[in-house]
A and B are shown apart, each in its own frame.
Chain A
């Protein structure tokens, strides 16, 4: 392929910006984690992986992110499918409704969840008052509360991502499958689903990365429960330990890459073309 070389110059401002404000700081951050007292060492990492407290935080974070991602996929997919098949008027209404949560800040939303999930919150008062349970449940300030808050935060994101893919799906393909003898369910399983899996994967990656790095929601709904991002913040801002914060940041980056890689591999298995 030949391309006018001067056109490449158009990329230059963007590349310079990325290099100055992203590549350089990230490289410096990563490099700094391997140096201690002027010597190359893995001590920074070994310290964390030997630490039971950090391992628990890491595990909680992964569990919260994975569950949030799966729940968002399971809830988002049928919703997006329904919206994509709705009539034009209904579609814009449903779309507006599903985007609406994005317009309020995560702080406000987390406070709403605190009102709903707390010891004297809506759910517990209802359950106690109706006599279904004797003592209020501990939901707020648990990983469960984080998951609920994160699902609420990211569901619109995965719906919009999936909608983009589903709108592009040629419905003629489904008709073709039906005319060849496929029941509506078989046509969905063999045509619609494989062709929309890329949307599910991209949406899933967005939700996972978002959950992994989310700060406000886990901080407000998690109480004393820590996740990696709140732990990182604590190390950097409260304890002023930037070395530790950098190590945590690199661990997060690595987890992100591993998960994105795994999900891409999964997408390729389900859809050779995707």
Chain B
């Protein structure tokens, strides 16, 4: 049974529905990410779970109980805000102690727990500082410590790393995952950064326009996006609209006019529905015109001409014009193709996926 579930929930701001008939559930101890572009309703979902917002319709169940009407302060959920929301007039110690003191713990116990938590986030020695005298990364860790020290039943993160610089972001996300797993604490994590979500999550829910487009293990989403939106969002830059498909053989046979393509079936069978083929720029291969492509590669290839070639550092990126439009290809090579060169674009059948 799931620890948390949103059932047919609707949320509106000023009579404008942001979430409609929204459903979500999460197992105990797991970290679920909500991933999606800005404005798709991630924060709204998180605030609803936290209790900052009321649903117009639907229920929020937690641990088998109806939490829909339970006020924020009775939920015992930790919330880490994008802006950190540290109390500017309280020291680091008092910020972290805030929730414990509200729980009427003895001051000696408060001190013990706060100090232990500050050690966990490597902030020993900073107790007396005011938040204004901390760096971004340190504030972030105070915010996490403050949310964790109350031993919450659920931890909620709203884009906690978006105000940090790139290096720190990577370190902090590893840190967040480590603490989350160590304490076995169920977590909902919001971000618009796919790498961040994929790297730390047990489950990722890709959201678009107030709806969950796909909810799955990160590796499955990465390989098998279910919809065009998800595919585009996670970097499938190339699409072919097919007009026929046949699933009878070992592979899926696809056609577009006279052109034939094959896509490998997904192990396990499900997914790969729809008629829109999608493939990442990294997975396309570019060959010089007339190069020997070996056997089994009739089809799954298009001839074209290099329009633009740019250097990305590790690889080159090409825009190749073909009869099915322009394709983007990233390829590592010593001798790059030049603009205007005739090439063949090859679509490995294991990498070609079908989306709705």
Interface residues of A (CB under 8 A from B): 170, 172-173, 175-183, 186, 190-191, 194-195, 271-274
Contacts and interface: CB of A to CB of B under 8 A. Distances in A.
A178 B85 contact: no
Contacts of B72: 175, 178-179
A182 B73 contact: yes
Contacts of A182: 73, 98, 102
B88 A195 contact: yes
Contacts of A180: 73, 98-99, 102, 146-147, 150
Interface in B300-331: none
Given A180-B98, A181-B99, A173 B87 contact: yes
Contacts of A186: 73, 102
Given A175-B79, A176-B79, A186-B102, A181 B73 contact: yes
A147 B73 CA distance: 42
Contacts of B132: 273
Contact of B52 (A175, A181, A271): A175
Given A181-B99, A182-B102, A186-B102, A176 B85 contact: yes
B229 interface: no
Give 4 closest A-B pairs by Cβ, nearest first: A180-B99, A176-B85, A172-B85, A179-B79
Interface string B25-68: 00000000000000000000000001110000000000000000
B88 A179 contact: no
Given A179-B52, A183-B73, 5 more contacts: A170-B83, A172-B83, A173-B88, A175-B50, A180-B98
A117 B130 CA distance: 52
Contacts of B99: 180-181
A172 B81 contact: yes
A272 B129 CA distance: 12
Given A181-B99, A195-B89, A273-B89, A176 B81 contact: yes
Given A175-B52, A176-B79, A273-B130, A181 B103 contact: yes
A172 B99 CA distance: 16
Contacts of B87: 173, 176-177, 191
A195 B130 CA distance: 14
Interface in B78-106: 78-79, 81, 83, 85-89, 98-99, 102-103
15 contacts: A172-B83, A175-B81, A176-B87, A177-B98, A178-B52, A179-B72, A179-B75, A179-B78, A180-B99, A180-B147, A183-B73, A194-B89, A195-B88, A273-B89, A273-B132
A273 B88 contact: yes
Contacts of A177: 87, 98
A272 to B, nearest CB: 6
Contacts of A194: 89
